């Protein structure tokens, strides 16, 4: 009997939905935009009602495109960004900003809680060792502390549910109030080793209200990836999702980067099939980037989001920013045809200058890319970008060089993470996410890290990872690892270019000097500010 799986991925600005066969083939795909609200600088919000409406529209669209019979859909699963959703006791949106009642999601990239993150980090609580010693303002405890400070304790008590976006989606689909271990360990500091909430942490940071009623607000039922949620789709959700069958299996929610890891890291590739999984790294590169690696034993590394992943707060977001400054993109569009124009421009410049590789065009242009702070390995949300070699950029040629230098800087950032956040060697990168379509980005990572980069045959590794979880929840496979091995297909291998290895080694040294320069400048500015006070 043919079985299909529906995978939903709620990204930063859009919902993506795919239908997969029980052999792991992507049968159809649809996407739907999601609105982002910016009430103030460094604040990014969304509406859970708006997200759910986009999910339903997207599922209906892909069902219509493929002609898939709802009765053949065996399971549905959800991945999402690590955004914070707040609902009242009736599971209705509870506004996080006050001015707009339907804005009840604080998005992952929202940095309003930077001061709260600093306060939590100064407590030195033992749980912080599991996130490299430092909580990021992108995680949920700082955001919840900000809400308590700015909306009040009574407001926080009025919250019936505070949960990650992926857990909201399974709640909305099933009416079962559960949490994914993936989300609560990675973003909420759930103690996975003791399999419990550490009440001392929440009391220490002033959020003991969340412990009331058996941790009801933050979740008392924790499920594993590959588990089924409740009794499946409710009648209401099934109807909203295009007439799926009530009771259709719903798999536990997953953070989007982790779903991308499930869908990519066991991809087959020529010459790499025997490579142990702990010598592989999944790089999930989209608006931001996450670097996921496994180790044979427990490793607690300063600056690394163990047991989750290190990463970069802005990667695709930064590259789009540069393209928009060039006038290549408008404020809402992202087109890889624009990138083709940049590559043609770079190739023409290299030929004119007699250079054998376009990489060498950036010899005098160096970028530090942390315009939205540094996740890893420095764990510093206050870091900003730097540019050495700035000139009057008034031609496409000069902007194209700056774009290439920014791409290279992101690859140097990945090397910085690998060399400082991992305690074992990485022999291959498995690249998923939107930036896998960026040829400059892919080749730069192969060259800078001097390892092959594997591009899974399926463009949508995050969706494929959700299908892995759904197939396990539906009983097609007994374990997630079996599902990964069976459903993750072949991949293309991009090899490093040995001709530019020494060039990138030299540029990486400059990259590290830029980091030291920024630290020195900030130290001077801090000292002067203290003296003036």
| CATH number for 516 | 1.20.58.2240
| HEC readout, 57-104 | HHHHHHHHHHCCCHHHEEEEEEEECCCEEEEECCCCECCCCCCCCCCC
Q: At what angle do helices 480-487 and 461-473 cross, to 10 degrees?
A: 130
Q: Are residues 374 and 421 in the same domain?
A: yes
> Is 516's pLDDT higher than 90?
no
Say yes or no: 93 and 171 in one domain. Answer: yes
Dist. CA 116–CA 183, nearest whole Å: 20
Q: 91: alpha, beta or left, given left = phi > 0 and alpha = psi -120 to 50? A: left
CA 236 → CA 9, 37, 69, 303, 388, distances in Å?
21, 28, 18, 44, 56
Pairing relationship of beta strands 73-80 and 254-255 according to DSSP bridges:
parallel
Is residue 478 in some structural domain?
Answer: no
Q: Is residue 224 part of a domain?
A: yes
pLDDT of 10 > 60? The answer is: yes
Burial class (CB in 10 A: 0-12, 13-18, 19+), 150: middle
229 and 290 share one domain: no
Indicate if 226 and 122 belong to the same structural domain: yes
Look at residue 474 and tell me if it is in a domain. no
220 and 286 inside one domain = no
Q: Mean per-residue pLDDT for 211-225?
A: 96
Determine, yes or no, domain membership for 305.
Answer: no
Residue 74 lies inside a defined structural domain of this protein: yes
Whether residues 80 and 206 fall in one domain: yes
Could you list the residue range(s) of the whole structural domain that residue 143 is in?
A: 4-258
Q: What is the mean pLDDT of residues 464-479?
A: 97
* Mean pLDDT taken over the chain: 90
In the predicted model, is pLDDT for residue 307 greater than 50? no
Residue in 118, 252, 283 with CA at minimum distance from that of residue 184: 252
Q: Which of 12-21, 226-235, 332-341 has the lowest mean pLDDT?
A: 332-341
Q: Tell me the C-alpha distance between 481 and 489, whole Å.
A: 14
Q: Which SS3 state, helix, strand or coil, does residue 257 take?
A: helix
Domain assignment present for residue 486? The answer is no
In a domain, 485, yes or no: no
Considering only CA atoms, which of 65, 437, 5 is closest in space to residue 259? Answer: 5
- Helix (H/G/I), strand (E/B), else coil: 422: coil
Q: What per-residue confidence (pLDDT) applies to 530?
A: 74
- The strands making up 45-46's β-sheet, listed across from edge to edge, are 45-46, 105-106, 84-88, 159-164
Note the pTM of the prediction, 2 decimals: 0.91
Within a domain: residue 299? no
Distance of alpha carbon 295 from alpha carbon 309, whole angstroms:
12
Please check whether residues 197 and 320 belong to one and the same domain: no
* Residues 223 and 339 occupy one common structural domain: no
pLDDT class of 334 with cuts at 50, 70, 90? very low
Does the pLDDT value for residue 335 go beyond 70? no
pLDDT at 333: 45
How many domains does the chain fold into?
2
- 209 and 330 share one domain: no
| Secondary structure of residue 4 in the 3-state scheme | strand
Same domain, 361 and 505: yes
Question: How, if at all, do strands 491-494 and 311-312 pair?
Answer: unpaired
- Are 205 and 351 in a shared domain? no
- Cα distances (Å, whole numbers) of residue 517 to 365, 386, 514, 525: 16, 10, 5, 12
Q: How far is CA 531 from the centre of its chain?
A: 40
The helix/strand/coil state of 370 is coil
The answer to whether residues 243 and 392 belong to one domain is no
Residue recorded with tokens 């065009």: 361
Most confident of 107-116, 305-314, 376-385: 107-116
DSSP code for 380: B
Quick one: average pLDDT of 373-378?
A: 68
- Percentage with pLDDT > 90 across the chain: 70
Taking a C-beta distance cutoff of 8 angstroms, is the pair 255, 225 a contact?
A: no
80: left (phi over 0), alpha (psi -120 to 50) or beta: beta
CATH of the domain at 110: 3.30.420.40
Number of neighbours of residue 68 by Cβ within 10 angstroms: 18
């Amino acid at each position: 009997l043919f079985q299909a799986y529906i995978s939903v991925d709620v990204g930063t600005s859009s919902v993506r939905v795919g239908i997969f066969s029980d052999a792991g083939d992507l049968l159809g795909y649809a996407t739907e935009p999601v609105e982002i609200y910016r009430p103030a600088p460094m604040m990014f919000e969304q509406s859970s009602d708006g997200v759910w409406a986009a999910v339903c529209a997207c599922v209906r669209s892909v069902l219509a495109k493929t002609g898939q019979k709802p009765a053949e859909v065996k399971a549905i699963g959800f991945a999402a960004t690590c955004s914070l959703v707040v609902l009242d006791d009736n599971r209705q949106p509870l506004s996080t900003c006050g001015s707009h009642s339907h804005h009840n999601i604080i998005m992952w990239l929202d940095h309003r809680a930077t001061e709260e993150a600093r306060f939590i980090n100064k407590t030195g609580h033992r749980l912080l060792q599991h996130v490299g010693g430092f909580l990021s303002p992108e995680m949920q405890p700082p955001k919840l502390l900000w809400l308590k400070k700015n909306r009040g304790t009574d407001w926080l008590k009025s919250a019936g549910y505070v949960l990650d976006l992926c857990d909201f989606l399974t709640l909305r689909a099933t009416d079962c109030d559960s949490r994914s271990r993936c989300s609560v360990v990675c973003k909420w500091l759930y103690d996975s080793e003791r399999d419990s909430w550490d009440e001392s942490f929440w009391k220490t940071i002033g959020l003991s209200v969340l412990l009331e009623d058996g941790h009801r607000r933050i979740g008392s039922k924790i499920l594993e990836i590959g588990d089924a949620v409740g009794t499946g789709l409710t009648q209401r959700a099934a109807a909203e999702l295009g007439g799926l069958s009530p009771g259709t299996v719903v798999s536990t929610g997953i953070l989007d980067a982790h779903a991308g890891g499930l869908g990519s890291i066991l991809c087959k590739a020529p010459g790499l099939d025997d490579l142990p999984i702990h010598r592989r790294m999944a790089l999930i590169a989209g608006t931001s980037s996450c670097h996921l690696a496994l180790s044979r034993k427990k490793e607690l590394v300063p600056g690394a989001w163990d047991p989750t992943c290190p990463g970069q707060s802005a990667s695709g977001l930064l590259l789009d920013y540069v393209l928009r400054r060039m006038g290549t993109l408008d404020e809402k569009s992202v087109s890889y045809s624009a990138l083709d124009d940049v590559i043609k421009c770079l190739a023409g410049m290299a030929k004119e200058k007699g250079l054998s590789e376009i990489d060498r065009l950036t010899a005098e242009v160096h970028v530090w890319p942390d315009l939205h702070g540094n996740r890893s390995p420095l764990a510093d949300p206050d870091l900003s970008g730097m540019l050495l070699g700035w000139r009057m950029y008034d031609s496409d040629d000069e902007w194209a060089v700056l774009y290439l230098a920014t791409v290279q800087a992101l690859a140097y950032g990945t090397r910085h993470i690998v060399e400082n956040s991992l305690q074992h060697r990485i022999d291959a990168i498995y690249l998923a996410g939107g930036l896998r379509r960026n040829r400059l980005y892919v080749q730069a990572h192969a060259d800078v890290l001097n390892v092959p980069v594997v591009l899974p045959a399926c463009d949508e590794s995050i969706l494929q990872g959700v299908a892995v979880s759904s197939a396990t929840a539906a009983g097609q496979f007994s374990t997630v690892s079996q599902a990964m091995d069976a459903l993750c297909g072949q991949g293309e291998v991009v090899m490093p270019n040995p001709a530019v290895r020494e060039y990138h080694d030299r540029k990486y040294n400059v990259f590290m000097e830029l980091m030291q320069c920024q630290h020195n400048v900030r130290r001077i500015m801090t000292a002067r500010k203290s003296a003036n006070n």
